A and B are shown apart, each in its own frame.
Chain A
Amino acid sequence: MVSDPANATQAPPAAPQVKPGGEPQDQPANELESGYLVICWDDPVNLMQYVTHVFQTVFGWPKAKAETHMLEVHNQGQSVLIREGLEKAEFYVHQLQQYHLHATMERDGK
């Protein structure tokens, strides 16, 4: 990630987008269901402030939590953003990739 000069502040989350042909599920992930991790990977091009903003927008996180995950990406090369079932993990990856973040979903080995 690329550092940026502006100080980031908390932004209210945008309305969640609806994936084609369906609606985002409101139920919490079934803990017995096989889990998938949504991971954001570091890259040299996305601005740190941009990444923070996208996390706030896609997940509705407060700024502090979004910045924590952004710094994990920046310093550790990756950050596990969320653990969900298959459908919802795909939904979030689609959302993140619409913003052109380097994000993927991987099966949770646990």
Chain B
Amino acid sequence: MRFFQASPDAFSFEFNQREKDWLFQVLELYPLIPAGHHRLSRQPATLGNEHQAWLEESLAAHREEARRKLRQFMTNPGNFPADGDGFRWTASRADLEWMLQVLNDVRVGSWLALGSPDLQAAKFTMPTPETRAHYLVMDIAGGLETIFIAALSGELPTPRDDAPAPL
């Protein structure tokens, strides 16, 4: 993947075909975190059920909006125009924040599907055919999160002469 920042609110990433396929395969899994997973408080008795219900309603609406944006993102070829041998996606700051939320849903949801393992200990465990896919998805999502956060932070090198910087 290559990065090119055209302006303070325009972040361009160039993907090759395989990278684009990986990105889309991860995004197609959204949402993975089960509804009702998030708890408003560890002391639910002090807040009342209506506050938890409002949280779940709010997150459901947020999830539905994210799904709508994701469908538009993945089905509109104009979002990923061909650029040489690859594809270029130009995102605003808000786009990247939304993408981070989607990717982290997939990452956390995969971890939940694995049974919420201790990931440090899991490094020394051979993955099974069933778990390998979840770990791969977590790695891809985490890698993309790192790149997008670095772009938002101004950490990624800004290339000269309109040439993208390899990542």
Contacts and interface: CB of A to CB of B under 8 A. Distances in A.
Contacts of A11: 149, 152-154
Given A2-B119, A14-B97, A107-B43, A44 B111 contact: yes
17 contacts: A4-B146, A8-B155, A11-B154, A19-B58, A44-B116, A47-B142, A49-B146, A53-B100, A53-B152, A53-B153, A90-B55, A93-B55, A97-B55, A98-B62, A99-B104, A100-B38, A106-B46
Given A45-B111, A104-B39, A6 B55 contact: no
Contact of A94 (B41, B55, B93, B149): B55
A79 interface: no
B137 to A, nearest CB: 12
Given A9-B154, A47-B145, A93 B40 contact: yes
Interface residues of B, number: 41
Interface in A20-41: 20
A3 to B, nearest CB: 10
B107 interface: yes
B153 A8 contact: yes
Interface string B27-48: 0000001000011111100110
Contacts of A45: 107-108, 111, 116, 119, 138
B154 A6 contact: no
A76 to B, nearest CB: 16
Interface of B: 33, 38-43, 46-47, 51, 54-55, 58-59, 61-62, 93-94, 97, 100-101, 104-105, 107-108, 111, 116-120, 138, 142, 145-146, 149-150, 152-155
A9 B153 CA distance: 6
Interface of A: 2, 4-11, 14, 19-20, 44-47, 49-50, 53, 57, 63, 90, 93-94, 97-100, 104-107
B101 A7 contact: no
A45 B145 CA distance: 13
Nearest to B141: A47
A2 B150 contact: no
Given A20-B58, A49-B146, A97-B59, A6 B97 contact: no
A100 B40 contact: no
